[in-house]
Structure 1
Amino acid sequence: MDASVVVVGAGPAGLMLAGELRAAGVEVVVLERLHRRTGESRGLGFTARTMEVFDQRGLLPRFGEIETSNQGHFGGLPVDFGVLEGAQAAKSVPQSATEAVLEAWAGELGADIRRGHEFVSLTDEGDAVEVVTRGPAGEQRLRASYVVGCDGGRSRVRKAAGFDFPGTGATMEMFLADIRGVDLQPRMIGETVPGGMVMVGPLPDGVTRIIVCERGTPPQRRTEPPQFNEVADAWKRLTGVDISHAEPVWVSAFGDATRQVTEYRRGRVLLAGDAAHIHLPAGGQGMNTSIQDSVNLGWKLAAVLRGDAPEALLDTYHSERYPVGRRLLMNTQAQGLLFLSGDEVQPLRDVMSELIRYDEVSRHLAAMVSGLEIRYDVGTGRHPLLGRRMPRLALTVSGRTTSSSALLCAGRGVLLDLHDNAQLRRRAMGWTDRIDVVTAVPGGLDDNHHVARTTAVLIRPDGHVAWAAPGSDHDLPMALSRWFGPSR
């Protein structure tokens, strides 16, 4: 084997997966056709759920001071995310900065990131996958135990492995551009004008971001970004303002295609991020969902490769992340109807605006867009934390102040004993090569309704609670065996 895992694509999903695998001690090669990062940033900032993911790996300080906001939207209609605890999002962190942080982290952990290497084909041989790649030295062949396609919406890995990708094609083309040298009044996302929708947002360093969606524009099959004059012409048609003199920093086109693979795994080939699902970019959810795909997959793939867990563990990647992707497509389609349609949808916008004034509706939409609603099926029980992410709790361990998030930095599972229960710790002895058993004194536990009266929790490496006491119907050894393999 040339590597345990070959990851195709060095975007946020591929780099996050590479870091997760290396943190678990798995050899990984990342193939990226581009010789260097583009510096483009379709995404700006990240959701509360992604902040939690970065926090649990100790990555948040690498972003410097992060400005957060409770202000969000659904289909261009303002939503106060502050009605939902912990739903604030990071603002003005360009995707290029996120990629730089993740690439540095994965590289420090020993990921072999090969830029200028283009994926050509693959063959799943049953016990391994052979990948053909074209790089500076010509064509090369790599053998790996698994291949993960993180190569975007036009994924070659997806096509080469024969994944079904049903859904709807694009019905229109839209433009996104970062420009300099023009003074435009801010316009909120979803601000409709006769014939379409436009947005204007200020960015640092004198850069202005614009989005222009002109109804009735057929989608183009482009191999290169659009010319800026196309953007300027569309902007003038919709707003009457001439921006042709502006300096384009970068220009991109996108559409409203909505597709999702029917399975996230076929044999030894798996997909993550945009390779598995494409959708209208609404609410900044795409990059965040892609990163969370990789966090769900990474520890499972590592456990199987190390021989800790059976291969069936990989099936839970599909069963847990497919529903998340399906809801992502559903809510972005709904948002598209709200901010891309014409006057015929105004009554629906008016009704939605009324509903959003109810806190319960705002909480529901905020949870959906931020990812805080996600709850995996980890078994039955009455405990409210089962399947959810473990909230960040202040803890004292052996006289040292720490947190539940910090305990996950090593990428291992954690059995958190909050009642100094020696019998509980003894029952977990057969898994201590794969999980950390930590006795801690909680701080502020009673202030969180999800964790009040909790005596112990089993936390998976991705931060989700697999077992909790009291309230789980399954006993601890059963939960440990399910997620971490048999006792040793």
Structure 2
Amino acid sequence: MTSTGMTDGPSTGAGAPTIDTDVAVVGAGPTGLLLAGDLAEAGVRVTLVERRPRAITNLTRAFAVHARTLEVLDARDLADELIRTGTTVTRQRLFGSASLRLSGLRSRFPCLLITPQYEVEALLERRARAAGVEFRHETTLRALRQDADGVTAELAPADGGVLRLRARYLVGTDGVRSTVRQQVGLPFPGRSVIRSLVLADVRLSEPPREVPMADGTGDAFAFLAPFGDGWYRMIGWDRHRRLPDDAPVELDEIRDITRRALGSDFGMHDARWLSRFHSDERQAPAYRVGRVLLAGDAAHVHSPAGGQGMNTGLQDAANLSWKLAAVVRGDADDPEALLDSYQAERHPVGKAAVRSSGLIVRLAMVRTPLGRAARTAAARLVSTGPVSARVIGRLTGIGIAYGARRGAHRLTGRRAPDLALAEGRLYELLREGAFVLVAPRGTEPAAPEIATAPGKVIRTTWTNPARRTALLIRPDAHIAWAQD
């Protein structure tokens, strides 16, 4: 892939150099790194702008990687490497003795992976650099404007001066305080749902037998999960300690909350990170304004309950990247409709994540004995039968499906499982970043979508001739078309 070029040209600062690129991505967290890497591998020139210096910090809030995200990473040949950095669990304990069993998921990854966010970022950064992404660290976005042909951004490097960046499209993956979102005038409606959450990475002298675990008493709740290397992540809240985010956190406070919520502090010691933060529920009304798009926390933010934040952002990137690449390469018959489909498909998913994580937090905060009894009963109901399957599908991302036009086959829009094919596994073929046509051996399915699919199509066959459904599968492993 060719690196983005530098040219001299008009600038908001006289004589400022210009970075010329196809797509600018602002924000080098997990969402931005996955998006930039996808685009670069598709032959798109990408510049990734990040205000922080180049460094992978070991301080991180996100730690849960759900099954659908592991599938997304598997389609990029990254999942197995990431799994080696953490620990997998097949059951998530709910309030009381109830739990969600993940081992029944119809996925190559019937589990939850617990690994620090910095491991995800390190893996995605290596991939992005290998693909040819041009990184601009210690560089701040100061302003942007767009016209019919592209976006012009004014950048401020840490060493002074002004850079002018010109791109066909710009994507903001720059977090909850997104400068990109502010520059295009999008509001971020919502509110703070809970204040003075505390977070710590600790060691335990007496680890619990079943983790992850979460519970609450009404005045306190706590969540505990293992990283697999002797360290544990604890997130807690005390109704009687409403302190600002910059108030110091002591290990004694962490121990006290854990004892009250979980019945023991498990011999906590040697905290390597202590932090206090608040949790908002917010979502931008639009993920696209002309040639500027939003993804990840820049588009939606919610409580850490359920561990959906990083996962939703990575899945945003997987949905957007192939569409944006097709538009930039000129492969899309209707570029506007294709980009609009990102908003249509991902905005409802972000809304659902805000709601579900908020519900978990509100259940944890239930104060009365009657309320806690009702919560325990509800948790038991959720952990069994068809209700459990729906909840697990939503939480893990396996059950997420996109809308389809009237009269479409019932499978259209659904996630495609990792089918065994004559040429290998489906998710191995998806590593080419292309549409995949899966058909019963000896058939020639007539799909009007095949001719108009952005990018190339791989034709393959079922290894099981008894299957009678042909599928056209998008690069993000959702079904574009099906025919019996």
> Counterpart of 2:59 in structure 1: which amino acid?
E
Give the CA deviation at 1:348.
2.6
Q: What is aligned with 2:197? A: 174
Structure 2 matches for 1:83-482, cutoff 5 A?
83-86=104-107, 88-138=110-160, 139-180=162-203, 183=205, 185-186=207-208, 189-193=213-217, 195-218=219-242, 220=244, 222=246, 227-229=248-250, 232-233=252-253, 235-236=255-256, 239=259, 246-309=269-332, 310-343=335-368, 345-381=371-407, 383-396=409-422, 401-422=423-444, 424=446, 434-440=455-461, 442-444=462-464, 452-454=467-469, 456-470=470-484
Give the CA deviation at 1:91.
2.4
Give the CA deviation at 1:109.
0.7
Q: Is residue 83–residue 362 contact of structure 1 (8 Å, CA) maintained in 2?
A: no
- Does residue 38 of the first structure (1) align with residue 57 of the second (2)? yes
What per-residue deviation string (whole Å, max 9, x for no partner) do you get for residues 277-319 of structure 1? Answer: 1101112111111000001011111111112212221100000
Give the CA deviation at 1:210.
2.1
Q: 1:24 aligns with which of 42, 46, 49?
A: 42
Give the CA deviation at 1:458.
1.1
Alignment TM-score, normalising by the size of structure 1: 0.84
Give the CA deviation at 1:239.
3.8
> Counterpart of 1:332 in structure 2: which amino acid?
S
Gaps of 5+ in 1: 447-451, 471-488
Q: Is residue 196–residue 242 contact of structure 2 (8 Å, CA) maintained in 1?
A: yes
Q: Distance in 2 between matches of 1:13 and 1:212?
A: 26
Percent identity, aligned pairs only, is 36
Q: Which moved more, 1:58-67 or 1:257-266?
A: 58-67
> Counterpart of 1:393 in structure 2: which amino acid?
L
> Counterpart of 1:326 in structure 2: which amino acid?
K
Give the CA deviation at 1:453.
2.1
Q: Distance in 2 between matches of 1:80 and 1:445?
A: 32
> Counterpart of 1:349 in structure 2: which amino acid?
R
Q: Distance in 1 between matches of 2:324 and 2:435?
A: 14
Give the CA deviation at 1:367.
0.8
> Counterpart of 2:393 in structure 1: which amino acid?
A
Q: Report the 3-state secondary structure (helix = DSSP H, G, I; strand = E; otherwise coil) of the residue aligned with 2:115.
A: strand
Q: Which moved more, 1:204-213 or 1:21-30?
A: 204-213
Gaps of 5+ in 2: 1-18
> Counterpart of 2:468 in structure 1: which amino acid?
R
What per-residue deviation string (whole Å, max 9, x for no partner) do you get for residues 214-273 of structure 1? Answer: 114436355xxx5343x5336437748999994432233332311111000111111101
Give the CA deviation at 1:421.
3.3
Q: Report the 3-state secondary structure (helix = DSSP H, G, I; strand = E; otherwise coil) of the residue aligned with 1:350.
A: helix
Give the CA deviation at 1:320.
0.2
Q: What is aligned with 1:15? A: 33
What per-residue deviation string (whole Å, max 9, x for no partner) do you get for residues 367-416 of structure 1? Answer: 110112211123344634210121111111xxxx4121111111111222
Q: Distance in 2 between matches of 1:285 and 1:103?
A: 21
Q: Is residue 248–residue 276 contact of structure 2 (8 Å, CA) maintained in 1?
A: no
Q: Distance in 1 between matches of 2:285 and 2:150?
A: 23
Alignment TM-score, normalising by the size of structure 2: 0.85
Count of residue pairs the alignment pairs up: 453
Q: Distance in 2 between matches of 1:193 and 1:3?
A: 54
Please give the root-mean-square deviation of Cα atoms over the aligned residues, in Å: 2.8
Change (3 A) 1:215 1:15: same
> Counterpart of 2:205 in structure 1: which amino acid?
D
